[in-house]
Amino acid sequence: MAQQEDHFKKVISHAKEYGYIFGSSEIYDGLSAVYDYGQNGVELKKNIREYWWKSMVQMHENIVGLDAAIFMHPTTWKASGHVDAFSDPLIDNKDSKKRYRADVLVEDYAEKLNQKAEKEITKAAKRFGESFDRAQYEATNPRVLGYRTKQKDATARLARLLEADDLAGVKALIEELEIACPLSGSKNWTDVRQFNLMFGTKLGASAETATDLYLRPETAQGIFVNFLNVQKTGRMKIPFGIAQTGKAFRNEIVARQFIFRMREFEQMEMQFFVRPGEEMKWYEYWKETRLNWHKSLGLGEDNYRFHDHEKLAHYANAAADIEFNFPFGFKELEGIHSRTDFDLKAHEEHSGKKLQFFDPELNENYVPYVVETSIGLDRMFLAVFSKSLQEEQLENGSSRVVLKLPAILAPTKAAILPLVKKDGLPEIARKLMEDLKFDYNVVYDEKDAVGRRYRRQDAAGTPFCITIDHDTKEDGMVTVRHRDSMKQERVLIEKVKEIIETQVSYKVWMS
C-alpha cells in the first residue's frame, strides 16, 4: 500500500516536472480538482483522443462523429433526469468536518474486505506452492468465505437502500458497519443528503431575461437530441453509432486523486442505436470490443477487470465498468451501459417531436434502444501515464526513470541529437528534422553529454533517439537508440523514418 502511495506521488510530481500536468491557476494557489495540461500533456491527451476516435469512427463504417455544444436547452436536463436525479448522497463527519460520498464510504469498506481475502489467498499460495488450487481455496477457506460474504452483503444492502432512496437507511448501514472517518477515526456522522452535481450558469445580458442553463454533465445528451439529424442526413441504418468527445462538468463532492476525479473533464462517448430486443447482444459486443481496445495498448492485461453494476441508473437495464488498476487500486475507467429507449423517449415527451426510425426490414417505426460506451479521457490519461512511469535498475548498478508510453501515444516520437554542436553535425540533424516533422512530432537537443540527453528523453517518454556523429558524415549512418530496451542500432539515415513508422503506425497497433 505504502509502495502504491509512493508511486502515485511520483506520478504527480513527474507529470509536473515533464510538462504533462499543472494545477489550474497555480500562481493563485490553484483551484481544487481542476488541472491544466502542459506542452507534453496536451500531445498525449490529443493522441489518446485520436486513438479512440480512429478505432471507433474510422474503423467502424456505421459509426459517425459529432461535436455538439456544451450549452444545451435547459429542458434537455429535465428530460434526461439530471435535474431530478443526478445527485450523490453526501455525509459529513462532525469531528473532522470532512465531507464524503456515503456510497463511497461503504464501497471502500467492501474493498478493504476484498483486500483482506486476497491477502489470505496470496499467503496460502505461497504456503502450498505449485499444488495450490485457488478456486478450491476460495470456495472452502472459512476466513476467505467470511470476508467475501461480508463484502457482498454490504454492497448488496447499499444497492437496495440507494434504489429505494432510503438515505436514513444508508446512514444506519454506515453506523452498523462501524465505518470511521479515514481522517479522524471518528464515527460521529451527520444525516445523509442528496446533492445535485450539475453546475448552473446564466445565458443573457440582463438579470430579468437571463435563462438558467447548466454546463453539460455528460456529452451523451448532445448525441440524443441530434439522433434524427444525423440519422437522416447521414442516411444511417440501424444499428449505427454516434461518437463524440468533449468537456463535461460535475460539481463532485469529493474531488481527489489527481485527474481521476475532476470538476471539469473530458469524455469520449459513443451511443449505439439498435433494434429493441437486440440490446443485450450489442451490450456484450461492446463490452468485449472496448476491453480489447484497452488491451491493444499493452499496459498489461491483468490491469483490467469488469465490474457489473448491482445498482442500475434510472435509464439502464444493464451496466458494467471496465476497472483499471490505478496506483490507488482498481477503479472505474470506462462504463458500458445499456440505456434502453429511456433517453430518446424522454426527449420525445419533452419536445413533442418524434425520435423514431423506420426499419425497412421490419416495416415498422420504433424508438431505438441504445448501448453506450463512455470513457473519461483524463482517467485514461492517468491509466496510461501511471503504468508507463517506471524506475529501472540497470546492469551497471545505476537506475533510470523511464516513461514507457505506448509509442503510438507518445507526445514526441523521436529526439534528434547531434553528438557535438559543431563540425557540421547540427546541420545534418536539422535536415533530418525537416524531413521527419511533416509526419511526426520530433525534437532537437544538442545540450549536455549524449547519455544525459538519452535519460532526459527516457523520462519524457520519447521512444526513439537518433544520434548523428562524426561517422555520419562518412557513411551516412546514424545511431537509433530505443527507449525501452536501450538497444542501439546503426542504420542509414534514409531508414530512420521506416523504423519509426513500424512502431507508431495505427495499423500495427489496432490490428
Which residues contact ligand ATP (rule: CB under 6 A)? 218, 250, 252, 261-262, 265, 267, 332-335, 374-376, 378-379
For residues 327 and 335, which CB has a smaller minimum distance to ligand ATP in the complex?
A: 335
- Pick from 283, 280, 339, 335: nearest CA to 315: 339
Amino acid at 319: A
Min. distance of Cβ 49 from ligand ATP in angstroms?
13
Give the residue with the Cβ less far from ligand ATP, 123 or 247.
Answer: 247
18 Cβ partners below 8 Å, 6+ apart?
40, 403, 459, 460, 461
In angstroms, what is the C-alpha Rg of the chain?
26
Concatenating the DSSP letter of every residue in 381-416 gives HHHHHHHHEEEEE-TTS-EEEEE---TTT-S-SEEE
Q: How far is the CB of 220 from ligand ATP (least distance, A)?
A: 9
Identify the CA nearest to 213 among candidates 382, 54, 82, 125. 82
Please state the closest distance from residue 101 (CB atom) to ligand ATP, in A.
9
Neighbours of 135 (CB within 10 A): 7
State the Cα torsion 186-191-194-197 to the nearest 10°: -30
Whether the CA torsion 428, 431, 435, 436 is positive or negative: it is: positive
Nearer of residues 80 and 457 to ligand ATP, judged by Cβ:
80
Q: How near is the Cβ of 294 to ligand ATP at its closest, in Å?
A: 12
Crossing angle (nearest 10°) for helices 167-176 and 142-163: 160
CB of 511 to ligand ATP, least distance (A): 26
Helix axes 142-163, 102-128, angle to 10 degrees: 160
Nearer to ligand ATP, 267 or 386 (CB): 267
Quick one: 223 or 333, whose CB is closer to ligand ATP?
A: 333
Q: Backbone dihedral region of 25: left (phi > 0), alpha (psi from -120 to 50 degrees) or beta?
A: left
Nearer to ligand ATP, 50 or 332 (CB): 332
User: At closest approach, how far in Å is the CB of 266 from ligand ATP?
Assistant: 8
Nearer residue to ligand ATP within complex by CB, 147 or 265: 265
In angstroms, the CA 30 to CA 41 distance is 18
Residue nearest to ligand ATP (CB): 376
Q: Which is nearer to ligand ATP, 60 or 311 (CB)?
A: 311
**How many CA atoms are closer than 13 Å to the CA of 334, on its beta-carbon side?**
26
Distance CA 48, CA 80 (A): 29
250/404 with CB nearer ligand ATP: 250
DSSP conformation letters of 314-340: TT-SEEEEEEEEETTEEEEEEEEEEEE
Least gap, CB of 117 to ligand ATP (angstroms): 23
Tell me the closest approach of the beta carbon of residue 378 to ligand ATP, in angstroms. 5
For the bound state, the minimum distance from the C-beta of residue 303 to ligand ATP, rounded and expressed in Å, comes to 15
Nearer to ligand ATP, 199 or 444 (CB): 199
**Could you tell me the smallest distance in angstroms from the CB atom of residue 61 to ligand ATP?**
25
Please report how close the Cβ of residue 108 comes to ligand ATP at its closest, in angstroms: 13
122-125's contacts with Cβ under 8 Å and 24+ in sequence apart are none
> CA 40 to CA 410: how far, in whole Å?
9
CB 230 within 8 A of CB 66: yes
Nearer to ligand ATP, 199 or 366 (CB): 199
For helices 39-53 and 377-388, what crossing angle results, to 10°? 110
> Could you tell me the three cell numbers for 18?
515533464
Cβ 48 to ligand ATP, closest distance in Å?
A: 12
DSSP 47-79: HHHHHHHIIIIIT-TTEEE----SB--THHHHH
- When the beta carbons of 89 and 463 are compared against ligand ATP, the nearer one is 89
Rounded to the nearest 10 degrees, the angle between the axes of helix 496-504 and helix 425-436 is 40
